[in-house]
A and B are shown apart, each in its own frame.
Chain A
């Protein structure tokens, strides 16, 4: 377990009779994907830094069922959803923060019909709130002279109309924010949504993530920021494909904030 970090589980907290303010829903990518695990840890650092009373489900967390639902397997989705809802309701969870727009969308929009009603917040909105409330603040200067472009994850942007929060977080950094031609409501998908991440793409002229990476690179940005594990994977692959690893970084907004946190 953590040495310098405090990562309590719901089971520990409940065992001690301590109430929990926020559940941090880590998600499968955040738990298993090597690249996204570091985003998870950075999010924990932010929560620790802001002294938030939070906990994770740890080994009790399971897939929300989103990829199953998007691939058409409603049975599997609902099995997952109902099992998760039993756990969440068992812990009397009220507020959930998550680093994955797919988990966010499912928990927020699709669990209520199955008996799970929570206040669900994507980490971009949550970090923006922490900045606004002064619970965390940014040094400024670390990203001076850098150009950042923000890629809208579909399930955050079009799916849930969250366009401003991640941009406000990035504006807090001392960098220039540049927009791609297709942004906000016209943001182009990274190609991974709708369970596409879990299969090979259909035959086409080019891969969607390459197309999107080109749009991002064309802005002249040094950093492509996003707020979704799938987008992060797809765009990182795109940068590798273009052999631009030394010029352009693909980062989650939490990773950028933690670099410059006061």
Chain B
């Protein structure tokens, strides 16, 4: 019997391991659809950014209540994963609470900390659920948060509550069994789970063993299942927030990335030095801007998969705030959906593309490039960079910008000012003093 459960456990571990491996390769392929570029900043800068923004959650604390609750869930899961390690070793070797003899008196202390964290996680998740479904906070009910995205968010929170409930139930049953059977390592009374002992103490040993084992299996399969589910959901930020903040941008937000291909062409048109390099070493010029995810960078793609759809960007977006169709969050979700579609269906060439297929011109034309979305993102995602790349494609490959912009372009070309004023009048301001 003992060996059967060990074998079942190892097979379960193998199945989830395989599923995770398949999904991780899929996600890697999605992200690698983008173009590679050199990371920005120095290694020290990047590490510092990751420590402050991802580990330290610095930007979360702009909303203190959400930040505190999120911190409980984040920290709780981080620490409780130590217990998962024990679960896995127990599952493979057939031990029960294998760490207990090594940790001695420290073990119950740790268990108590875990239980407190489990309670904090549960309470936080319940508050989060009520913020979404009872208080109906606006950013969780935007146009892009219908059907799957909304269900996804709720599922994650419910699963987290269930996982924590399983730990507490397991410990309750375990504590009663400790007094009936020496197989169950003595932990003493634990702060949270012992409160439920009166409700369970009348049960016979067989039922308690069943509850303890069921909760144990529920928790470990739950954790493994959750880890797999995460790779299908918006919850990937628990892993990707780290590389994503490590590869942050370090220029002032006002800076827009330069296009060296254009620099080469313009230099040669103006006969400037540096232009000669083009003729000696012709570089194949790709598409200007982005029409589809292939034209974006690996960083843009990583951002799309790091986005946890919290909607802080959309809540701060002036265009969205005043009822326009643009939502920076929807830009990230669309980019991700498009990448998944390409890899899933092994699409190489087709009519459909990110632009028009997933993101409309009405959306990207509404952007004021104010950087509110970039500032708001707790994990340093830039929806603005994707918007700008799409605008560049429309302007340079299609000459398809809004008519008023084309007029503005013409004005700059002929009058060297975006308005229709004669260049010769540029200095008349100095003559007309009051």
- Shortest distance in angstroms between A27's beta carbon and chain B's nearest beta carbon? 9
Complex interface: chain A residues within 8 A of B270 (CB): 79, 82-83
Q: Are B418 and A202 in contact, CB atoms less than 8 angstroms apart?
A: no
- The answer to whether B417 and A188 touch across the interface, beta carbons within 8 angstroms, is no
| CB atoms of B404 and A200 under 8 A apart | yes
- A residues 1-38 in Cβ contact with B at 8 Å: 1-5, 7, 9, 26, 28, 30-32, 37-38
Closest CB-CB distance, B173 to chain A, in whole Å? 49
Stretch of A132-140, A189-197, A247-255 with 4 or more beta carbons under 8 angstroms from chain B: A189-197
B254 in contact with A160 (CB, 8 Å): yes
Q: Which of A79, A114, A159, A206 contacts B371 (CB 8 A)?
A: A159
B288 neighbours in A (Cβ, 8 Å)? 74
Which residue of chain A has the shortest Cβ distance to B270 in the bound complex? Answer: A82
Query: Please, how many angstroms separate the alpha-carbon atoms of A18 and B336 in the complex?
Result: 58
Q: Per-position contact with B for A176-213: 1 when CB-CB < 8 Å, else 0?
A: 00000000011011011111101111111111100110
Considering the complex, give the chain B residue whose CB is closest to the CB of A62: B416
Complex CA–CA separation, A73 to B397 (angstroms): 10
- Residues on A close to B: CB < 8 A? 1-5, 7, 9, 26, 28, 30-32, 37-38, 40-41, 44, 56, 58-59, 61-63, 65, 67-76, 78-80, 82-83, 105, 108-110, 113-114, 154-155, 158-161, 185-186, 188-189, 191-196, 198-208, 211-212
Q: Which of B262, B322, B416, B427 meets A74, CB within 8 Å? A: B262
B399: shortest Cβ distance to chain A, in Å?
A: 9
- In the complex formed, the residue of B with least CB distance to A5 is B433
CB B316 to nearest CB in A, in angstroms, measures 7
Q: Specify which of A5, A7, A70, A113 is in contact with B369 (CB 8 Å cutoff).
A: A70
Expressed in whole angstroms, the minimum distance between the Cβ of A231 and any Cβ of chain B is 11
- Asked if B430 contacts A7 (CB within 8 A), the reply is yes
- How far is B434's CA from A38's CA once the two chains are assembled, in angstroms? 9
B395: interface (CB < 8 Å): yes
Beyond A194-B368, A194-B370, A203-B325, 5 extra complex contacts between A and B, CB < 8 Å: A38-B434, A191-B318, A198-B408, A199-B404, A202-B319
A105 to chain B, nearest CB (A): 4
Contacting pair B423 A59 (CB below 8 A)? yes
Whether A32 and B417, one on each chain, are in contact in the complex, defined by CB atoms closer than 8 angstroms, is yes
> Is A37's CB under 8 angstroms from B432's CB?
yes
Contacts of B433 in A (CB 8 A): 2-5, 41
- Across the interface, B408 reaches (CB within 8 A) one of A2, A7, A67, namely A67
Cα A212 to Cα B263 with chains together (Å): 37
Question: What is the distance, in angstroms, from A240's C-beta to the closest C-beta of chain B?
Answer: 18
Number of contacting residues on B, CB 8 A? Answer: 70
Nearest chain B CB to A232 CB, angstrom units: 15
Please judge, given known A-B contacts A76-B409, A199-B402, whether A28 and B417 are in contact too, CB under 8 Å: yes
Asked whether, in the complex, the Cβ of A82 is within 8 Å of the Cβ of B418, the reply is: no
* B positions within 8 Å CB-CB of A: 251-256, 258-259, 262-263, 265-267, 269-270, 272, 288-289, 316, 318-319, 321-326, 362, 365-372, 374-375, 388, 391-396, 401-402, 404-405, 407-409, 412-413, 416-419, 421, 423-427, 429-434
Residues of B near A203 (CB, < 8 A) are 323-325, 362
Asked whether B366 lies within 8 Å of A201 as measured between CB atoms, the reply is yes
Select one of B265, B316, B365, B388 contacting A202, CB under 8 A: B365
B393 surroundings in chain A (CB, below 8 A): 72
B-side contacts of A75, CB under 8 Å: 262, 265-266, 396
Contacts of A211 in B (CB 8 A): 318, 321-322
**Contacts A109-B252, A195-B408, A203-B324 given; does A158 touch B421 at CB 8 Å:** no
By Cβ-Cβ distance, the 9 closest A-B pairs, closest first, are: A159-B254, A205-B323, A194-B369, A72-B395, A72-B391, A62-B416, A189-B370, A199-B404, A105-B254
Nearest Cβ on chain B to A215's Cβ, whole angstroms: 11
Chain B residues within an 8 Å CB radius of A70: 256, 369, 388, 391
User: Measured between C-beta atoms, what is the minimum distance from A200 to chain B in Å?
Assistant: 7
Contact of B392 among A7, A41, A74, A199 (CB under 8 A): A74
Cα distance A110–B321 in the bound complex, in angstroms: 29
The answer to whether B368 and A189 have CB atoms under 8 Å apart is yes
User: Known contacts being A28-B418, A32-B426, A198-B408, is A158 close to B372, with CB within 8 Å?
Assistant: yes
Inside 8 A of B318's CB, which chain A residues have their CB? 188-189, 191, 208, 211-212
- In the complex formed, the residue of B with least CB distance to A192 is B368
Residues of B within 8 Å of A205, CB to CB, are 322-323
Residues A78 and B322 in contact, CB atoms below 8 Å apart: no
Contacts of A160 in B (CB 8 A): 252-254
Whole-angstrom distance between the alpha carbons of A155 and B370 in the complex?
Answer: 7
